[in-house]
A and B are shown apart, each in its own frame.
Chain A
């Protein structure tokens, strides 16, 4: 088990602080949890706690960007992408300002805090915004690469991170290129496309399927917008069926984004694994993932059923 993506975020911000004198970091009273504290300790003059006022934080970030700064604004995904949605839309995306919205504690793996804190709709909300780039890193190394890329890019970026430790599936040599997915496992019978913590589980599912004589292609779709259409079209054509897996509502997220490409270019049967139109609840992260079907076993079982249908 590797580090949590949020840990990698804090470390990377600290590194970037030395490279970009105009980089500033905003948080809404959660810097110990989002790990922006790592930056604040080294660059206290470029860290601004906005208090528990997320809407103001996003519009302040927009103003900073309009005056040439590179703001990273962080809080929990629910309070950033949820509460401050309209500020992100009107103050940041519409004028295409250079704000990085780096939110942590996405998904069920928030755990014990329960449904109010478990953001399961953010991918849907962020990817429908024009001018927005949406990234869901699969692990700590990919988080570092994505955050570094975001700092170098001019324009709004959403980076979705989690609280829990997750499997390492990339290395420091894996490039992060927006709009490019990575094929982590070759396979020709079925394709599993996943993002975030579900990428590690997709690889485990591929191991299970191998035992049943099925080779599953596993794709890490960390760049959800722009999405890698070519890799999806090729997967559909090579394997004839696609399963998606995400720690998010099945509506509107990665599964929908993949399906939008599939129905346009390469219609094949699909199955989508995610949270099925309901809220989360309190519990240990792993217990919740099991209870909501976000496991390698469930991905493998779903893939097997889909394989039989194709």
Chain B
């Protein structure tokens, strides 16, 4: 398995930084959106769109593309930042997030947003849809892969485990799921609200190949993706240890920042922090 070079790591980290900047700007402009859970997935999103996935902004529906399902659909600002940065649509669209008549909905809408592979927002459903896509890929003997990003709070949905059973039963080895294990949900710590832990043991018991990775270490995440490609007969889950709000010290690990937008003054300060971070 080829490791990322130092230069590749630097490039992807720069992209992740750019996504964080765009996330903060768009949520601030909208005065609405999910700040914490968008920032926590910026590294995996940057890695997928700028290194791993075979996608073409000029042909968003090309049949042999890799697919991404953002099952935790409230992380939409991060997905939009990546798609805009990749060139699926103009960056100006980000300024109209969540506004009446605009393309970019509060949660991903595949019908109107170029590059969005699945409509999500109601937790649990995207993961099942990702299973359906992976099954279609297997039926077609296709080489494209399906990636799904799940929240850790989302694991409380029963449908997640229906899908986990399904993916194992139908041996969806072309499916790789990432759990954004930031430990927080709207009402508090996941372990206080309704603990889905131990996440790794649960997926293992459901027949999945389980990998642990630091969700902000793009090199480790790359290795996990490469390892998943070698697994036969079972799907892979990467349990990513993440920090909710990653990149902005005031937001990091704060429950209150799940669905809150920064003020303009806060945003200015946060952007400085993101840009000055190494």
Interface residues of A, Cβ cutoff 8 Å to B: 24, 45-46, 48, 50-51, 53, 55-56, 58-69, 71, 86-87, 90-91, 94-96
Of the stretches B42-50, B76-84, B127-135, B187-195, the one at the interface is B127-135
Q: Pick from A45, A55, A59, A94: contact of B132, CB below 8 A.
A: A59
Q: Cβ of B159: which chain A residues have Cβ within 8 Å of it?
A: 53, 55-56, 59, 87
Q: Cβ of B132: which chain A residues have Cβ within 8 Å of it?
A: 59-67, 69, 71
With known contacts A24-B139, A59-B125, A66–B110 Cβ distance under 8 A: yes
Q: Is the CB of A91 within 8 A of B110?
A: no
Of the stretches B22-30, B111-119, B206-214, B243-251, the one at the interface is B111-119
Of the stretches B91-99, B163-171, B229-237, B270-278, the one at the interface is B163-171
| B 119-165 contacts with A by CB, 8 A | 119, 121-122, 124-137, 139, 158-159, 162-163, 165
Majority secondary structure of chain A interface residues (helix, strand, loop or mixed): helix
CB pairs A–B below 8 angstroms (30 shown): A46-B139, A48-B135, A48-B170, A51-B165, A51-B166, A51-B169, A53-B159, A53-B162, A53-B165, A55-B124, A56-B131, A56-B159, A56-B166, A58-B128, A59-B126, A60-B128, A60-B132, A63-B129, A63-B133, A63-B134, A64-B136, A66-B110, A66-B129, A67-B67, A69-B132, A86-B122, A90-B125, A91-B125, A91-B129, A95-B119
Q: Pick from B110, B128, B133, B166: contact of A95, CB below 8 A.
A: B110
Q: Is the CB of A90 within 8 A of B121?
A: yes
Q: Which of B110, B122, B158, B162 has the most CB of A within 10 A?
A: B162
CA distance A20 to B237 in the complex (A): 34
How many positions in chain B have a CB within 8 Å of any CB in the partner chain?
34
* Cβ of B63 under 8 Å from chain A: yes
A25 to chain B, nearest CB (A): 12
Q: Is the CB of A64 within 8 A of B135?
A: yes
Q: Cβ of B122: which chain A residues have Cβ within 8 Å of it?
A: 86-87, 90-91
Residue in B closest to A46 when the chains form the complex, CB atoms: B139
* Cβ of B109 under 8 Å from chain A: yes
A222 to chain B, nearest CB (A): 28
Q: Is the CB of A60 within 8 A of B129?
A: yes
Q: Pick from A45, A60, A94: contact of B163, CB below 8 A.
A: A60
Residue in A closest to B126 when the chains form the complex, CB atoms: A59
Q: Is the CB of A66 within 8 A of B133?
A: yes
CA distance A191 to B207 in the complex (A): 59
Residue in A closest to B116 when the chains form the complex, CB atoms: A95
Q: Which of A58, A64, A86 has the most CB of B within 10 A?
A: A64
Q: Cβ of B165: which chain A residues have Cβ within 8 Å of it?
A: 51, 53
Residue in A closest to B119 when the chains form the complex, CB atoms: A95
Q: Cβ of B118: which chain A residues have Cβ within 8 Å of it?
A: 62-63, 66, 95
With known contacts A50-B166, A63-B129, A90-B121, A69–B109 Cβ distance under 8 A: no
Q: Is the CB of B136 within 8 A of A68?
A: yes
Q: Is the CB of B162 within 8 A of A56?
A: yes
